[in-house]
Amino acid sequence: MDQFERTIAGDDAGIDLARAALAIAADEYPGLDPAPTLAAIDALAAAARERIGDAADRDATLAAVDHQLFTVAGYTGNATDYYDPRNSYLNDVVGRRTGIPITLSILYLEVAERLGLRLEPVSFPGHFLLRTVGDGAPVIVDAFHRGARVGHETLVERLVPILGDRTAAGAYLPRALAPAPRREVVARMLRNLKAIHLQAGDWPRALQVLGRMLALAPDDPTELRDRGHVLTRLQAWHAARDDYRRYLELAPDAADAADIRARVEALAPLAGRLN
């Protein structure tokens, strides 16, 4: 069991998101030591604590995290080079002080939790967010936009392009703001990297990420099919055929099932020659 597998083992609530993110980064940076990045997060929290003391309320703690991350340390959302894979590696995010919504949210959550404020990740469509936990209405925090508090109307507007109109967006909003399981947070980080590597045609890195995704969910038919596509690109015919066959077992009535069956048949002579 390697570092990533150890991190995601056990109960969902026990997954350490910072360590999980660093385990993903270790695939890009073999031998990566998580200690310096974790120490940097500890230092951010310690500096924020000096600003508020030990008995701050929710709003004061959020304000202290905002101040330390965005005013003092200068973290920003990387809007100019959003699809740079370094935005998905937490060590790079901390070192370069820029990232995408999900990695900046993990950083924000980790700093806040070191100050005693629990936050929940929100896998909001198109833009990862955080929400506070406790009495009263939750506060929705957008770490990509310097910790901005996001209100109801803005959230509905963000859903309109996805759902088509305000009525549908308003009805769907409670589901969109549901707390995300920690495994889903890890999966979303991996999906981001998968999309980047597929777009770049970087098949070895895409294969590595798909392996991690299937460690999280071994019987996810979509990821099995997509790994089959990548393995085909890499001329790993036998392994590709196995993934396609498993996909068809799990999703025999899928819209692309006929295409995948044709691929299995086409791979048969190639796989037979090499094995």
Q: Are residues 144 and 250 both part of a single domain?
A: no
In a domain, 179, yes or no: no
Instruction: Answer whether residue 12 is part of any domain.
Output: yes
| pLDDT, tens digit, 9 for 90 and up, residues 231-248 | 999 999 999 999 999 999
Instruction: State yes or no: pLDDT of 274 exceeds 70.
Output: no
Pair 124, 35 in one domain: yes
pLDDT, averaged across the chain: 94
Residues 52 and 141 in one domain: yes
Asked whether residue 122 is assigned to any structural domain, the reply reads: yes
Q: Which domain holds residue 22?
A: 3-149
Q: Which residue has the tokens 């469509």?
A: 125
pLDDT of res. 51 = 86
pLDDT value at residue 195: 97
- 134 and 251 co-located in one domain: no
Tell me whether residue 175 is in a domain.
no
pLDDT tens for residues 52-86?
A: 876 678 999 999 999 999 999 999 999 999 999 99
User: Could you tell me if 130 and 229 lie in one domain?
Assistant: no
Share of the chain above pLDDT 70, in %: 98
Residues 141 and 227 in one domain: no
Least confident residue range of 61-65, 67-71, 200-204, 271-275: 271-275
In a domain, 251, yes or no: yes
Domain boundary among 149, 169, 191: 149
Which pLDDT does position 35 carry in this prediction? 98
Q: Which residue has the higher pLDDT, 182 or 136?
A: 182
What integer pLDDT is reported at residue 273 of this predicted model?
62
Q: Does residue 121 share a domain with residue 14? A: yes
Query: Where does the pLDDT of residue 27 fall: very low under 50, low under 70, confident under 90, or very high at 90 and above?
Result: very high
Q: Which three-class secondary structure string do you get for the chain?
A: CCHHHHHHCCCHHHCCHHHHHHHHHHHHCCCCCCHHHHHHHHHHHHHHHHHHCCCCCHHHHHHHHHHHHHHHCCCEECCCCCCCHHHHCHHHHHHHCEECHHHHHHHHHHHHHHCCCCEEEECCCCCCEEEECCCCCCCEEEHHHCCEECCHHHHHHHHHHHHCCHHHHHHHHHHHCCECCHHHHHHHHHHHHHHHHHHHCCHHHHHHHHHHHHHHCCCCHHHHHHHHHHHHHCCCHHHHHHHHHHHHHHCCCCCCHHHHHHHHHHHHHHHHHHC
Pick from 89, 122, 149: which residue ends a domain?
Answer: 149
pLDDT score, position 271: 73
Do 7 and 139 sit in the same domain of this protein? yes
**Is residue 181 assigned to a domain?**
no
CATH number, position 112 = 3.10.620
Same domain, 256 and 143: no
pLDDT in tens, 207-224: 999 999 999 999 999 999
Is 41 within the bounds of a domain? yes
Total number of domains in the chain: 2
What percentage of the chain has pLDDT greater than the value 90?
Answer: 90
Tell me: the pLDDT tens digits for 34-46? Answer: 999 999 999 999 9
* 126 domain-assigned: yes
Q: What band does 275 get if pLDDT is binned at 50, 70 and 90?
A: very low
What's the pLDDT score for residue 272?
66
Tell me which of 99, 114, 149 is where a domain ends: 149
